Structure 1
Amino acid sequence: MEIAGEQLRLARLAHGYSLEALGEKVGASRQYLHLLETDARTPARDLRLALCDVLGVTEDFLTTPIRSTVRPEQCHFRGHITRPASVTSQVLARGTMLDKLVAELEKYVDLPDVSFPDISASDNEGIEIAAEKARMHWGLGLDGPIVSMMRVVENAGAVVSYFGDLSERVDAFSMDRRRPILVRSSLKESLCRQRFDFAHEVGHLIMHRGVQTGDRETENQAHRFAGAFLFPRAAFLREFPRGKYIDWIALARLKLRWKVSMRAMVKRAYDLRILSAAQYRTANIHFAKTGQTKHEKYDDDSRLPVEQPELLPMTLESVNGIVHGGVVSVGHEIGLTKNTVELVSGFQLPNPPLPNDPKVVRLPRNR
């Protein structure tokens, strides 16, 4: 039986295995696995089964090419531009498989309609306006803080998850698919950073549709959008404390109210010309000297709890309760085992109800 080499590569990358590492697990050479991935060889059945076992996929997964591939302009990363190519490949592979899983889950449950406006913007004024239009599109107004960024993106139809073992070089990642997917590293458990990461990705999804991002220009545009979306210009100009010196106590109060980091507010004040270049430089020296470049004061405050995804966990729970065999059965339909479904979804699957449970019904798929 022939396999689709690209499918093997996809599963390998999703697990973060190099050709050498996978070869050690299945008893094959790096060179031979490379030939399999380039469709130059067909594996014997014992090797094919070993690959399925190690990679957590079915034989059907390896033999059936994925129907819809993810293009570079549909993927946006929030993190170091210099991240290793291996990290990028791993995240893209998991995102591709998560996209496939979500599409399969939608055959059984209804998810919110996708409602991300398409607003092209590149200059500073255009970005400020784009952020304001996005807030108004979602009924958030321009005068007060956003209660939950998680609910904003999930109500707009995006699926949010975590890849807990992402590299420190990736803060967040989004895919502009039929149903947008936002993934964040759980390594950074700060509400303010989490909200900024999500707002940054929203900026990409709104402003950069069909645009390949990752360069400094598009990253700076998404940064500007995030600041404007979380703390609109008119409200910021009204509330930011003015003076020769920065009022850190007042800034901390704004942080607790708007759920925006002090460092992000300082940058926004500089962008809006409230702070001079000298004041901005002095503020960043203060962050460095006080050890607040990555972890700020009040990041651990109980008034700033990290927001948790709701849409995907509820979807998994619903499917588990209404489909015979639960999410494991649904995952098997697209060739993923339980462990791989957990890997790409970022959540541990609940055990499905017992077969004789009266709550379990066999439902026709929603086509």
Structure 2
Amino acid sequence: MATIDQPMLPGTAGQHPSPRAVAGALDPARITQARHLAALTKKEVAERIGVTPAAVGQYEAGITRPGPALIPQLAEVLAVPVEFFLAGRPFGKLDSSMAHFRSLRSTKLYQRARALGVAGQVWELAHALERRVQLPLVDLPGFAGGEVHPGAELSRDPVQAAQELRSYWGLGEGPISHLVRRLETKGIVIAHPDGIDPLAQSVDAFSTSQLPRPLAVLTKNRCDDVYRFRFTAAHELGHLVLHSDAAPGDSTHEREADAFAAEFLTPRNSLAPLLPRRMDLAGLAELQRTWGVSVDSLIYRCRELGLISDATASRTYKRLNALRGSPGFTPPSVSEYPGEQPVMLRQAFELAAAERSLTIAELAHELAWRPARVEEILGVGDPRPLLRLA
């Protein structure tokens, strides 16, 4: 779980502590975090700084410390400032038992480790901003600052839990617009950092309730389809309210999160009367736009509610596949839906910048990150392509 110590970085923004000072106040876990974020093995780090893999393992375990001469080399290889390794500042420390990942077969250990490092950084940034700006209070049944209490307020049955959460949040029985924005208003940190493209190619969305704020990272491969993105956000919400203990890759948990998401986005009592008994793709496409879920999901919902047979569903999916990419059957990008893009952290920074003159450089110094990393996670970098002149 995260530690909540106050930052203790020597010097001021633009200055760096000496390697000797860093070596004397080093947090071994920060070396591990930086290595995970860089997606490097101990062997690869060892080769680049001229030591043995065993030595790197001892540095990370806190058995021995790297000498001052190695600190700048470590920082360069791991692409962090030298002060990144210092102890004494808030640390969003997670391991693989503390987050919900979908399929473990499709991801390698180092990929999940990098994903967890990203999640930790997202929380660290949120914590730094929260020291300056009052973020929305967490309003998630069962959540109590870094853990979820099983059975607190919501049913353990995914369908019933979705119905109860809708009622608790006053969402009514109709379509939910601006889903991601609504989750942010409930104090849930949602992120899809621009700077994690390699992560997005390998790790699906994931979430954790083991930090002082519940957090979900929706990777960039989910941003090409607003319907997929919304369902993924609801799926991760299901994990947050149903599963107090993460069990990465657990098929039962994944099915429960899917069932929660389906009922949360498309309550059966409201949707069932609207679903066609004879498969009408044009009608389903209209429902897709109204309810903000994919035609695929609606076909599955028809079968799940017993309105069509498995054979009819199979034939309908085949017809749908032949139409993919056609007008009306091409899913819109998340970028076309402002209410489905996370904004809480960026707007918190903008408010702190306006009210307290906070700068990217100051925030980067406090976090001991490079400024570009702060911009990547906030999503405040210049979106224009860079013209490079030879």
Q: Which residue of 2 aligns with 1:129?
A: 160
Q: Which residue of 2 aligns with 1:358?
A: none
Q: Which residue of 1 aligns with 2:11?
A: none
Q: Which residue of 1 aligns with 2:8?
A: none
Residue correspondence of structure 1 range 294-333 to structure 2 within 5 A: 297-300=329-332, 305=337, 307-323=340-356, 326-333=359-366
Q: Which residue of 2 aligns with 1:168?
A: 201
Q: Which residue of 2 aligns with 1:181?
A: 215
Report the Cα distance in structure 2 between the residues aligned to 1:287 and 1:216, rounded to whole angstroms: 27
Residue correspondence of structure 1 range 196-235 to structure 2 within 5 A: 196-235=231-270
Report the Cα distance in structure 2 between the residues aligned to 1:238 and 1:90, rounded to whole angstroms: 45
Deviates more, 1:129-138 or 1:191-200: 129-138
Is 1:91 aligned to 2:99, yes or no?
Answer: no
Q: Identify the match of residue 149 of structure 1 among 170, 179, 185.
A: 179
SS in 2 for 1:182: strand
CA spacing shift, 1:324–1:151, aligned 2, 3 Å: closer
CA spacing shift, 1:78–1:328, aligned 2, 3 Å: farther
CA spacing shift, 1:154–1:54, aligned 2, 3 Å: same
CA contact (8 A) 2:193 2:379 kept: no
TM-score, length basis structure 1: 0.82
Q: Which residue of 1 aligns with 2:287?
A: 254
Shift of 1:128: 1.6
CA spacing shift, 1:68–1:14, aligned 2, 3 Å: closer
Deviates more, 1:86-95 or 1:56-65: 56-65
Is 1:140 aligned to 2:191, yes or no?
Answer: no
Q: Identify the match of residue 190 of structure 1 among 212, 225, 228.
A: 225
Is 1:278 aligned to 2:308, yes or no?
Answer: no
Q: Which residue of 2 aligns with 1:106?
A: 130
CA spacing shift, 1:335–1:113, aligned 2, 3 Å: same
Deviates more, 1:201-210 or 1:19-28: 19-28
CA spacing shift, 1:138–1:33, aligned 2, 3 Å: same
SS in 1 for 2:123: helix
CA spacing shift, 1:328–1:85, aligned 2, 3 Å: same
Q: Which residue of 2 aligns with 1:38?
A: 61
Report the Cα distance in structure 2 between the residues aligned to 1:223 and 1:159, rounded to whole angstroms: 20
Shift of 1:308: 1.6
Report the Cα distance in structure 1 between the residues aligned to 2:336 and 2:272, rounded to whole angstroms: 23
Report the Cα distance in structure 1 between the residues aligned to 2:349 and 2:78, rounded to whole angstroms: 22
Shift of 1:23: 4.4
Letter in 1 for 2:213: R
CA contact (8 A) 2:156 2:242 kept: no
Unaligned runs of 5+ in 1: 351-367
Q: Deviations over 1:69-106 (max 9, x none)?
A: 33545412245653211111110111112212211211
SS in 2 for 1:174: strand
Shift of 1:67: 5.3
SS in 1 for 2:205: strand
Shift of 1:41: 3.2
CA contact (8 A) 2:92 2:119 kept: no
Letter in 2 for 1:162: H
TM-score, length basis structure 2: 0.78
Report the Cα distance in structure 1 between the residues aligned to 2:167 and 2:235, rounded to whole angstroms: 17
Report the Cα distance in structure 1 between the residues aligned to 2:344 and 2:122, rounded to whole angstroms: 14
Shift of 1:116: 1.2
Report the Cα distance in structure 2 between the residues aligned to 1:160 and 1:302, rounded to whole angstroms: 14
Letter in 2 for 1:178: P
Residue correspondence of structure 1 range 46-57 to structure 2 within 5 A: 46-57=69-80
Shift of 1:146: 0.8
SS in 1 for 2:277: coil
Q: Which residue of 2 aligns with 1:158?
A: 188
Q: Which residue of 2 aligns with 1:17?
A: 40
CA contact (8 A) 1:73 1:209 kept: no
| Identity of matched residues, % | 27
Letter in 2 for 1:39: G
CA contact (8 A) 1:78 1:200 kept: no
CA contact (8 A) 1:78 1:197 kept: no
Letter in 1 for 2:260: F
Report the Cα distance in structure 2 between the residues aligned to 1:136 and 1:108, rounded to whole angstroms: 32
Report the Cα distance in structure 1 between the residues aligned to 2:239 and 2:232, rounded to whole angstroms: 11
CA contact (8 A) 1:199 1:229 kept: yes
Unaligned runs of 5+ in 2: 1-22, 143-149, 383-390
Report the Cα distance in structure 2 between the residues aligned to 1:171 and 1:211, rounded to whole angstroms: 15
CA contact (8 A) 1:4 1:64 kept: yes
SS in 1 for 2:206: strand
Report the Cα distance in structure 2 between the residues aligned to 1:111 and 1:79, rounded to whole angstroms: 32
The number of equivalent residue pairs is 342
